[in-house]
Amino acid sequence: MVNLKINGISVSVPEGSTILQAAKIANVRIPTLCYLKDVQCVGSCRMCLVEATGARGLVTACTYPVSEGMEVRTNTPKVRKSRKTTIELILSTHKKKCLSCVRSMNCELQKLALEYNAEEDRFGTDHDLKPIDDFSASVVRDNSKCVMCTRCVAACAQQTIGAIGPKNRGYAKVIGSPYDVSLAFTPCVNCGQCIVACPVGALYEKSAVADVWGAIVDPDKQVVFYTAPSVRATLGEAFGLPVGTNVEGKMVSAIKQLGDVKCFNMDVTADLTIMEEANELLSRLENGGKLPMFTSCCPGWIKFAEHYEPELLPNLSTCKSPQEMFSAVLKTYYCEKNGINPKNLYVVSVIPCTAKKYEVTREELGKYTDAALTTRELAKMFKEAGIDFVNLAESEYDMPFGEASGAGAIFGATGGVMEAALRTAAYKLGGSGAPLEFKEVRGTEGVKEAEYSLGGKTVKVAVASGLGSARNVIQAIKSGEKDYTFVEIMACPGGCINGGGQPYVHDEVRNNIDLKAVRAQALYDYDKDSRLRASHDNPAVEILYKEYFGSPNSHKAHELLHTSYGKREKY
C-alpha cells in the first residue's frame, strides 16, 4: 500500500494506483473529459491536471502514479486556471448550438464550462462547420461538435471494429472513417457504443420521434408500441431516478398518455424466440445440425458476423430477433384477428439499441417495423408531451400481449438469452423437475462458460458480451481449443442494458458505478418476482401456436419468425 495526502486527506491505495483512483477513495472529485473507465485512459484532454509533490508542473491525475508520501492538490489557483483555459480553448473550436443540441442540459462539456465560469468566446470562434454525416440508418456524426476526446475511437476499438479513428495531425486532426466515407459505408455494426461514450453531441442516433408523432395524430393509423426487456430498468435514469429502478408501470402509463395508442410487452416475443431457438437447438443436437449454434437476437452481432465471420453464418440460429418477431406477429396474426389492414397499423418498438434502427431497414426481415425508438428518444417524447413521469400512477400492458415470463425479461442482460433457452431446453429434455436458474452464465464478465447435463445430454455453453470478447470466443472455437454446443453473443458489453440507445450517463457516474451490474440486477429481481419463470409457460405464446403457428419451427413459423443472412464486404 502507498500512503499519500489529497487536499490534506490521508489515503492509502495499492501500489500502481493513479492519483485519480486515490482521489476516488478519498472522496475528492477531479473532473475528466477524455477518461472513461474500462474504455480509455490517455490523459489527452488535460482536464484532470493537479499539482503533486515530486512532479514537474501539473500532471494528469488519470495517468500519473501515486508515490509514498506524495501530497496532491486538486483545486489550487494554478489548477483551476489551467482547467478553465482548457475549456475555453475547446469551446473556441466547438459548434455552440447548445439550446438545440441533443445533449443540452446533459452535456459533460457544458457542465464543466458552468463549473469553471468559462467564457465561451474568450478565444473567439475559430472553426469551419463540417458536414453532418447522417447516411447511416442508426448513427449521426456531427464533427463540428467534436472535442477530440477520442472516447468514441476507444469504444469502437474496444469493439474491434475501427470504423472511426483520428486523422491528420495537430490543429487539422479530426475523427473520421477510412477514405473519408460515411459510417454507412464502413463495417460499422451500429452498436452505438461510440454514442454512449461521447461526452457531447458529436454523435447521436438518427431520430424517429417526428415520424412517430406524425403517426399518432394520423386518423388513418392505429399505433402500437412495444417495449424491450431492458428499457424498464434504464428509462428512469432519464428522469433522475436511481440507476436500476424498475419503471415498467410508469413507462406504460406514459406511453398511453402520448395519444390513442396501445402498449405491448416485447418480453412476449422474447419468450417466442426461446421457443423457436430452443427447439432449433434440440433439432440440431438430434439431427446432426451445425454446431455450435449461435444466438441471433442481436443485430449488431449479426452484422459483425456478416462482415468479419461469414463462414460462421450457417451456425447462427435462423430465428429473427424479438423485435422483428413481434412486428411480424402484429402485422399478420394481430391484424387478421382484429380486422385491421396491415398498412394502417403503425408499429413502434422501444429498444435500448441503435443497431435495431438499422435492423428495421433490412429487406430480408420483411420490414414489418415502422419505427424503432431508443430509450433516450422515448424519454424525449415524454418530456415534450409534458408528462410528469416520476409521479405517474402505474399501468399494465395491453392484452393479449401483456404478460410474459421472467425468462423473457432477462434477455436484456448478458447471459439472459442463454439462461432463458436453457430453462426451456432443460424442461423439454428433463421434464417438470428441470432447474429454473443457471447462475453460471450470469454476470458482466466479457466471457462466461458452463457445462450442463440436460436430460442425459451434455451441453457446453459460452456467453460473450462485447465484440472484442466475441472474437476471443470465435478464435477458441476455430482453433479447436473449445467445443461448445451453444453460444450467446451480444454486441454491447454487458448486453442490452448497456446498449447504444440507453440514457446518457455522465462520466462521473459511469466511472464510479457498475452500470451494467446494477441495471442487470433489476432484471434478475423482476424475473425472481415473476409469476411465470419460463418461456414455455407463457399463455400468450401458447395461444399464438394454437391459433396461428401450430408448433415451434413449423412451416408458418419459418415463414414469419425465421430468416437467413449473407456475407457482406468490409468496405
Last-in-domain residue among 186, 204, 222: 204
* Integer CA distances (angstroms), 557 to 185, 269, 411, in order: 33, 13, 21
pLDDT in tens, the chain (571 residues): 999 999 999 999 999 999 999 999 999 999 999 999 989 999 999 999 999 998 889 999 999 999 999 999 999 999 999 999 999 999 999 999 999 999 999 999 999 999 999 998 898 876 678 899 999 999 999 999 999 999 999 999 999 999 999 998 888 889 999 888 999 999 999 999 999 999 999 999 999 999 999 999 999 999 999 999 999 999 999 999 999 999 999 999 999 999 999 999 999 999 999 999 989 998 998 888 899 999 999 999 999 999 999 999 999 999 999 999 999 999 999 999 999 999 999 999 999 999 999 999 999 898 999 999 999 999 999 999 999 999 999 999 999 999 999 999 999 999 999 999 999 988 888 776 678 899 999 999 999 999 998 877 889 999 999 999 999 999 999 999 999 999 999 999 999 999 999 999 998 899 989 999 999 999 999 999 999 999 999 999 999 999 999 999 999 999 999 999 999 876 6
DSSP 529-540: T-S--SGGG-HH
In a domain, 435, yes or no: no
The interaxial angle of helices 467-478 and 299-308, nearest 10 deg, is 50
Q: Are residues 194 and 328 in the same domain?
A: no
Q: Are residues 9 and 149 in the same domain?
A: no
Tell me the Ramachandran region of residue 62: left when phi exceeds 0, alpha when psi lies from -120 to 50, beta otherwise.
alpha
Amino acid type, 530: S
CB 560 within 8 A of CB 334: no
> Is 297 marked active-site?
yes
In a domain, 287, yes or no: yes
Q: Are residues 254 and 293 in the same domain?
A: yes
Q: Are residues 331 and 238 in the same domain?
A: yes
Q: Are residues 140 and 248 in the same domain?
A: no
CA distance 299 to 267: 17
Q: Among residues 317, 405, 465, 469, which one is catalytic?
A: 317
Q: Among residues 356, 357, 428, 516, which one is catalytic?
A: 356
Q: Among residues 276, 359, 377, 488, which one is catalytic?
A: 359
Last-in-domain residue among 157, 187, 204: 204
Cell of 48: 484532470
Q: Are residues 217 and 243 in the same domain?
A: yes
> Is 357 marked active-site?
no
In a domain, 479, yes or no: no
Q: Are residues 181 and 240 in the same domain?
A: no
* Global model pTM greater than 0.85: yes
> Is 48 marked active-site?
no
In a domain, 7, yes or no: yes
Residue 511's CATH number: 3.40.50.1780
In a domain, 109, yes or no: yes
Last-in-domain residue among 204, 231, 258: 204
Q: Are residues 236 and 355 in the same domain?
A: yes
The interaxial angle of helices 267-287 and 416-430, nearest 10 deg, is 60
What is the SS3 assignment for 12? strand
In a domain, 274, yes or no: yes
H/E run at residue 252: helix 248-256
> Is 364 marked active-site?
yes
CA distance 458 to 450: 11
pLDDT of residue 170: 84
Full domain range(s) for residue 66: 2-75
Q: Are residues 403 and 545 in the same domain?
A: yes
Residue 118's CATH number: 3.30.70.20
Number of domains in the chain: 3
CA distance 208 to 99: 20
> Is 496 marked active-site?
yes
CA distance 144 to 157: 22
Cell of 491: 454486441
In a domain, 86, yes or no: no
DSSP 76-122: -HHHHHHHHHHHHHHHHTS---GGGSTTTTS-HHHHHHHHTT--TTT
Q: Among residues 297, 298, 319, 353, which one is catalytic?
A: 297
* CA 18 centroid distance within chain: 29
Q: Are residues 254 and 382 in the same domain?
A: yes
Cell of 362: 433490412
In a domain, 130, yes or no: yes
Residue 22's CATH number: 3.10.20.740
Q: Among residues 276, 277, 403, 488, which one is catalytic?
A: 277
Q: Are residues 57 and 118 in the same domain?
A: no
Q: Among residues 496, 516, 530, 535, which one is catalytic?
A: 496
Q: Which residues are bridge partners to 203 per DSSP?
A: 141
Q: Are residues 360 and 386 in the same domain?
A: yes
pLDDT of residue 179: 87
CB 144 within 8 A of CB 155: no
> Is 309 marked active-site?
no
CA distance 267 to 276: 14
